Amino acid sequence: MEANVRWTLVTAVAPIAWGTTYYVTRAALPADHPLYGAVLRALPAGLLLLAVRRRLPRGAWWWKSLVLGTLNMGAFFALVYVAAQLLPTSVASTVMATSPVAMTLLAWPLLAERPRALPLAGACAGIGGVCLMVLDGAADIDPLGLLASVAAMTMSSVGYILAKRWGGGVDVLSSTAWQLIAGALVLLPAAAVVEGAPPALDGRAVLGFGYVTTIATAVAFAAWFTGLRHLTAAGVGLIGLLNPVTGVLLGTLVASETLGGQQWCGLVLVLAGVLTGQPVTARALARVREKARVRERTRSRDGAVVPLSVKCPPEKVSSSARRS
């Protein structure tokens, strides 16, 4: 149990770090170059991890890195950009919140991890909580934006499951570095076509990209893929719901945004969903049920009717009874 708690905490670093990027992006990064922003975020992070491990892909990992980098970073960032242009943030966030359900269902055929009641219940609670936090009921939904958001969620979910399935033969830092570099190289031509020349960066933007590159990308993705090595896909997907929670709380603490009662209820519901789906919760409930069964068996034995032959063995029968 202690090991699961440790890996859960390591995995939680990723969505918490990702949640901080909302504020950093608004406060420090160029607003009109999201694709170049993704390239400048992923490529230096990948090169940093590659410098730490100093290991290049071999054999099948050349094409696996390209596939995973496209699913988890390159195409994902591009689709998120399209969704951000066409959908309200509340709707896009709600669509992305369904990722735990997608990961749970995809893990069944791809990883032989059968869906379990508690993670599914936690995912439903988490989705409901995100809806309470971000939806205001007045959003106009663009079909193309909705399609882009669903595609981004689906592609990243498939990419995470494949990373868990393929990751056994190589260390986490190396595979993460290869994915980030491949994703950035896939995204670079799209950035050049859509956005033209790269943006000019001032000192504030350089500091912002420094944080996003090292903490919110290199460290975060390494933590995320480490969690996928040691925890179930359903459990990791649920931990990802800490992303919008972090974004909302950081906006409250730093940007002086206010939360109403509905948002606080949603936040609590998300946290309850994350805890519900973790293995430590399932084990705790199993121990409670086992203790209840033991108590029930003990009460049954104590309340059982003892036969007369047991109450009064032959050698204890009185002498008067024997004479009669």
The tens digit of pLDDT for each residue in 237-254 reads 999 888 888 877 887 787
In the predicted model, is pLDDT for residue 306 greater than 80? no
pLDDT (mean) for 216-234: 94
pLDDT at 203: 92
* Distance (Å) of CA 124 to CA 238, 276, 300: 10, 11, 39
Express as a percent the part of the chain with pLDDT over 90: 41
In the predicted model, is pLDDT for residue 84 greater than 50? yes
**How far is residue 286's CA from residue 281's CA, in Å, rounded to a whole number?**
9
The band of 219, judged by pLDDT with boundaries at 50, 70 and 90, is very high
**How far is residue 67's CA from residue 160's CA, in Å, rounded to a whole number?**
11
The tokens describing 100, both together, are: 């735990």
Count of other CB atoms within 10 angstroms of residue 155: 17
Tell me the range of 25-39, 248-262, 290-304 where mean pLDDT is highest.
25-39
Query: Where in the chain are the domains?
Result: 2-298
pLDDT at 324: 43
pLDDT at 86: 81
Q: Per 3-state DSSP, what percentage of the chain is helix, strand, and coil (rounded to 5)?
A: 80, 0, 20
The band of 316, judged by pLDDT with boundaries at 50, 70 and 90, is very low
The band of 267, judged by pLDDT with boundaries at 50, 70 and 90, is confident
* Distance (Å) of CA 115 to CA 108, 222, 262, 279, 309: 7, 25, 30, 13, 53
pLDDT at 255: 66
* Distance (Å) of CA 164 to CA 82, 112, 150, 156, 219: 27, 12, 21, 12, 18
pLDDT (mean) for 123-135: 82
Residue 191 is classified by DSSP as H
pLDDT at 171: 94
Sequence-distant (6+) residues with CB within 8 A of 21 are: 212, 216
The band of 186, judged by pLDDT with boundaries at 50, 70 and 90, is very high
Sequence-distant (6+) residues with CB within 8 A of 197 are: none
The band of 320, judged by pLDDT with boundaries at 50, 70 and 90, is very low
The tokens describing 167, both together, are: 């990751």
pLDDT at 321: 46
pLDDT at 91: 74
pLDDT at 182: 96
The band of 179, judged by pLDDT with boundaries at 50, 70 and 90, is very high
In the predicted model, is pLDDT for residue 113 greater than 50? yes
| First and final C-alpha spacing in the chain | 66
- 248 vs 210: which has the higher pLDDT: 210
Tell me the range of 47-61, 89-103, 128-142, 286-300 where mean pLDDT is highest.
47-61
* Distance (Å) of CA 236 to CA 140, 215, 262, 267: 31, 19, 26, 18
**How far is residue 46's CA from residue 43's CA, in Å, rounded to a whole number?**
5
